[in-house]
Structure formats: C-alpha cells, structure tokens
C-alpha cells in the first residue's frame, strides 16, 4: 500500500528523464548566458551570496575576522550591495551576532548534524534551537539521506517538520545533497518532501564529501518549486551550493532560476548562492580588476 508521502511524489508532473533534463539545461544556457553577462547581474549575484566558512580550523577569532570583513566591505564599497548572509557552524552564531554591524546581512547556521545528518534527532533539535537562540536568522539542515534512500519518507518528513518547529521565526533551508541522490527522480522526490514538510528553501549540497551543485539538479529542483507554488501559492527559495566558485558558475544558476521560476525569484529572499570563493571572483568582474577582499 502506498503511503501519503509516496502518493504526493507520484502526483508530480516534473520530468525526471536525466537525458531530457541535461538537454533542457544545455538549451537554457545556450540561449541565455551571453545576454546575462552584465555588471548589474553580477551585482545581484553578489547580493545573493551566503558567505560561508565551515572549516575544522574555524575559531572565535577567525570567525570574528571573517565577519569584520563584511563590515569593512560596507565601509569601503558602500556603493555596492553586500552579501546576503554569513554562514557558520552553529556554535559561532553568537560571535557573528556580536561583531556584525550590517543590518541587512543575515546570520545563517548549519545545523542538525551537518554535513551527514547522522546524529540523534534530539541532538538535531537542540542544536537548531541553540543556533537560533545564538542569533541565527536562517538554519541550513541536511535531509536524512539514509532514511530517504531506504524509502522511509515519513521519518524524513517528520524530522524536517520538527526542525522547522525548532527554528521558530528563522528560515529553514533543507539541503538535499543532490550528489548523493544522483538521479533526477530522487532529486524530485526529495524536493517535494522537503517543501511539504515546511522548508523555506531547498538547497543542493553541503560541499562536503559528495559532488556539489549541478545545473541539472538545479533545473529539477526549480521545476519542483514552480509546481509546488502553482499548487499551494507558497514561494520556496532555491540555493545552489558546493563548487559554485566562478562567475560563470553563478550565472548558469541565475539563468535557470530566471527561465524556470521567473523574475519573482530574482531576489535574495528566494535565491541564494552558497560560496566561499565566489565573492572575490564576482567582485573582480564587477570592479574590472582582480580583487581579493574576503
């Protein structure tokens, strides 16, 4: 007997033929990349960055310095939009909250046993609540891939719903780890389950241990977001992450979002880029000279 979770996914009309998805992505890029290579688009993409430090070497001092550079950017490049958010491990949210002076930059924290999602559910809930209490405006969690691949979709959805509750007023981004899911069929199912469980964003990857974002995964995820919006009226954001480092990388995702979801999603409330190296590359293209600010 099919449970309600498999039934919801089975009703989707989003195409999961990997070859057709690949062909559609190639067409979108061929038709749109050159036209969107403009300084205004680069500035918009810069304003969508979740500037990220997720290293074993992170410390209170290093995260404070990292945050201060965002303050410095505001002072030195006040004519340019700043990044959208600073993304850190949950224990560093109080540091960012203390140092960050730029009100329009949010604080994001990974949580829920990032990057594997392999810990006790109670730990995930507590970690998420502590991150929000420490100052996080946004929480990035990883969908439980083991349970998903086992077909235990009820457990997957219950966990996301519980973590959404732990977020209180913070936005919840659910990372699908598309490099582990591999197929368009799996990516479609994971996208639908995450959105139906309360995700405010769906995100491609952790950038840890599996292949990062791909344009094909982005296309499927955006199609799912579009279908979900048509059914519910709720707009869910999209965030590629993991290996998004060059201006052209970012531009490819921009073209897909614009083509599939349209202008309403071209706002950093609904489109983000998870990156550590991208900021300097975009900044170099905006300013017309090689720049290593961050």
Active site residues: 140, 203, 239
Spatial contact of 58 and 92, defined as CB atoms under 8 Å apart: yes
Q: Which residues contact 256 (CB under 8 A, 6 or more apart)?
A: 25, 28, 215, 218, 219, 222
Element (H, E) at 49: strand 49-52
Closest to 156 measured CA to CA, from 174, 133, 134: 174
Alpha-carbon gap, residue 36 to 55, rounded angstroms: 33
Radius of gyration (C-alpha) of the chain in whole angstroms:
18
Distance, CA of 88 to CA of 190 (rounded, Å): 24
Distance, in Å, from the CA atom of 190 to the CA atom of 248, rounded to the nearest integer, reads 27
Task: Report the C-alpha gap between 92 and 87 in whole angstroms.
Answer: 9
> Which residues, at least 6 apart from 263, have a Cβ–Cβ distance to it below 8 Å?
none
Nearest to 186 by CA among 210, 163, 158: 210
DSSP 270: T
**Measured CA distances, 267 to 48, 124, 236 (Å):** 8, 30, 12
Q: How many residues does the chain have?
A: 294
Dig out the tokens for 153 from the structure.
Answer: 């979709």
Q: Is the dihedral of CA 129, 131, 137, 141 positive or negative?
A: negative
250, two tokens: 């970012």
């Amino acid at each position: 007997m099919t449970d309600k979770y498999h039934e919801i996914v089975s009703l989707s009309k989003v195409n999961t033929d990997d070859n057709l998805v690949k062909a559609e992505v190639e067409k979108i890029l061929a038709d749109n990349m050159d036209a969107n290579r403009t300084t205004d688009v680069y500035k918009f993409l810069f304003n969508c960055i979740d500037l990220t430090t997720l290293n074993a070497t992170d410390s209170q001092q290093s995260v404070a310095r990292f945050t201060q550079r965002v303050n410095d950017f505001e002072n030195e490049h006040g004519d340019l939009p700043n990044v959208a958010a600073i993304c850190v491990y949950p224990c560093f949210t109080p540091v960012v909250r203390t140092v960050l002076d730029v009100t329009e930059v949010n604080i994001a924290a990974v949580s829920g046993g990032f990057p594997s999602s392999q810990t006790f559910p109670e730990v995930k809930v507590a970690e998420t609540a502590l991150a929000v209490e420490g100052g996080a405006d946004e929480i990035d969690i990883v969908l439980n891939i083991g349970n998903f691949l086992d077909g235990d979709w009820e457990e997957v959805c219950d966990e996301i719903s519980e973590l959404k509750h732990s977020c209180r007023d913070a936005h919840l981004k659910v990372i699908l780890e598309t490099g582990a899911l591999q197929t368009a069929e799996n990516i479609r199912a994971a996208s639908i389950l995450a959105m139906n469980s309360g995700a405010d964003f769906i995100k491609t990857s952790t950038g840890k241990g599996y292949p990062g974002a791909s344009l094909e995964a982005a296309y499927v995820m955006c199609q799912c977001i579009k279908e979900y919006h048509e059914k519910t009226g709720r707009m869910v954001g999209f965030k590629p992450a993991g290996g998004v480092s060059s201006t052209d990388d970012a531009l490819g995702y921009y073209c897909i979002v614009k083509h599939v979801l349209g202008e309403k999603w071209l706002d950093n409330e609904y489109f983000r880029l998870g990156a550590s190296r991208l900021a300097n590359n975009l900044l170099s293209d905006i300013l017309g000279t090689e720049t290593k600010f961050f």
